[in-house]
Chains A and B, each alone.
Chain A
Amino acid sequence: MRAIRLMLLLSLAACTTLFSDESTVTIYSGRGEALVGELLARASRETGVPLRVQYGSTPELVTRMVVEADQTQADLLFAQEITHFQPLVRRGMLARLPDDLSEGLDPRFIDQAHHWVGTSGRLRVLAVNAESVPPDARPRSLRDLAQPEYASKLAWAPQNAAFQAHVSALRALWGHDETARWLRQVHASGPRTFPKNAPIVQAVADGVVQMGWVNHYYLHQSRISNGAVVNHSFAEGDAGNVLLVAGIAVREGSPRVEGATRIVRWLLSEAVQESVAQSSWEYPARLGVPTHPDVAPLDPIGLADLDPDHLSDLAPARAMLRELGLL
Chain B
Amino acid sequence: MSIGVRPPSARTVALAFVAVGVVVVWPALGLGYGLFRAPAALTSAELWSALPLLRDSLLLSVAVAVSATLLGGWLAWIAERLRYPGRSALALFALLPLATPSYLLAATFERAQVMLLGPSYSLRGLVAAWLVLTLVTAPVVQLVVASALQRSSANEEEAARSLGASRVALLRSVVLPRVQAGMVFGFVLSFVYALSDFGAVAVLDAPVLTFRLYQAVASHQLGQATLYGLLLSIAAVPLLLLAGRLRGKARAGVANPRAPARLPAGTVEAGLAVGTQLMVGGLGTLLPLVELARWVARGLTQPDATFASLGIPALHTVGASFFGAVLTLLLALPVTWVAARAPRLSGIRQAGWIASALPGPLLAFGWLLCALWAGTYLGLPYGVVMSSGLLLLLGYATRFLAEAAAPLEAGILHLDPRQEAAARSLGAPRSRWLLRVVAPALTPATGGAFVLVFIAILKELPVTLLLGGPAGLSTLAFRVFDRYNEAMFHDAGLAGLILLATTLTALLFTLERP
Report which A residues bind B (CB closer than 8 A): 3, 7-8, 10-15, 17-20, 32-35, 37, 52, 54-57, 59-60, 62-64, 66-68, 71, 73, 87, 159, 161, 192-199, 201-203, 206-208, 218-219, 221-224, 314-315, 318, 322, 327
Contact = CB atoms under 8 A, between A and B. Distances in A.
A73 B382 CA distance: 9
B482 A222 contact: no
Given A17-B389, A73-B470, A199-B203, A63 B220 contact: yes
Contacts of A11: 318-319, 322-323
A83 B119 CA distance: 35
A215 to B, nearest CB: 10
B363 to A, nearest CB: 13
Contacts of A17: 387-389, 471-472
Given A68-B372, A206-B114, A223-B298, 9 more contacts: A14-B315, A15-B319, A33-B474, A54-B469, A54-B470, A60-B217, A159-B211, A218-B486, A318-B219
Interface of B: 34, 49, 107, 110-111, 114, 119, 122, 124, 202-203, 205, 211-212, 214-215, 217-220, 222, 298-299, 302, 304-305, 308, 315-320, 322-323, 361, 365, 368-369, 372, 375-376, 382-383, 386-389, 465-466, 469-472, 474, 478-479, 482-491, 509
A222 B487 contact: yes
A311 B388 CA distance: 38
B487 A195 contact: no
A40 to B, nearest CB: 13
Nearest to A35: B486
A206 B319 contact: no
A208 B122 contact: yes
A199 B103 CA distance: 11
28 contacts: A3-B509, A8-B322, A10-B319, A17-B472, A18-B472, A32-B486, A35-B486, A54-B470, A56-B465, A59-B219, A59-B220, A60-B217, A63-B218, A67-B365, A71-B382, A73-B382, A73-B470, A192-B122, A196-B485, A198-B484, A198-B486, A199-B107, A207-B114, A208-B122, A221-B488, A223-B302, A223-B490, A327-B212
A73 B318 contact: no
Contacts of B122: 192, 208
The A interface, classified by DSSP as helix, strand, loop or mixed, is: helix
Given A63-B217, A67-B368, A159-B202, A15 B485 contact: no
A57 B481 CA distance: 11
A218 B484 CA distance: 10
Contacts of B361: 60
Contact of A56 (B302, B382, B388, B466): B466
A34 B469 contact: no
A55 B469 contact: yes
A64 B482 contact: no
Nearest to A279: B304
A35 B483 CA distance: 9
A208 B114 contact: yes
Contacts of B482: 32-34, 55
Contacts of B202: 159, 195
8 closest residue pairs by CB, A with B: A14-B319, A59-B218, A18-B472, A54-B469, A14-B315, A198-B487, A11-B319, A222-B487
A56 B365 CA distance: 13
A213 B33 CA distance: 41
B218 to A, nearest CB: 4
The B interface, classified by DSSP as helix, strand, loop or mixed, is: helix
A25 to B, nearest CB: 13
A207 B119 CA distance: 6
Contacts of B203: 194-195, 199
A34 to B, nearest CB: 4
Contact of B218 (A71, A161, A192): A161
> Which of B122, B212, B469, B489: most chain A CB closer than 10 A?
B469
A229 B375 CA distance: 52
Nearest to A7: B322
A194 B103 CA distance: 12
Contacts of B214: 159
B104 to A, nearest CB: 11
Nearest to A132: B119
A194 B205 contact: yes
Contact of B387 (A18, A59, A194, A203): A18
Nearest to B198: A195
A44 to B, nearest CB: 14
Given A67-B368, A221-B487, A10 B220 contact: no
Contacts of B222: 63, 66-67
A7 B485 contact: no
A64 B482 CA distance: 19
Given A10-B315, A223-B298, A55 B478 contact: yes
Given A195-B203, A196-B485, A14 B509 contact: no
A8 B318 CA distance: 9
A202 B222 CA distance: 33
A223 B465 CA distance: 27
Nearest to B481: A32
B111 to A, nearest CB: 7
Contacts of A13: 315, 319
A166 to B, nearest CB: 16
B379 to A, nearest CB: 12
Contacts of A34: 308, 482-483, 485-486, 488, 491
B232 to A, nearest CB: 17
A36 B407 CA distance: 42
B513 to A, nearest CB: 10
Nearest to A195: B202
A57 B119 contact: no
A67 B218 contact: no
Contacts of B299: 223
A64 B361 CA distance: 11
B212 to A, nearest CB: 8
Nearest to B107: A199
Contacts of B320: 14
Nearest to B202: A195
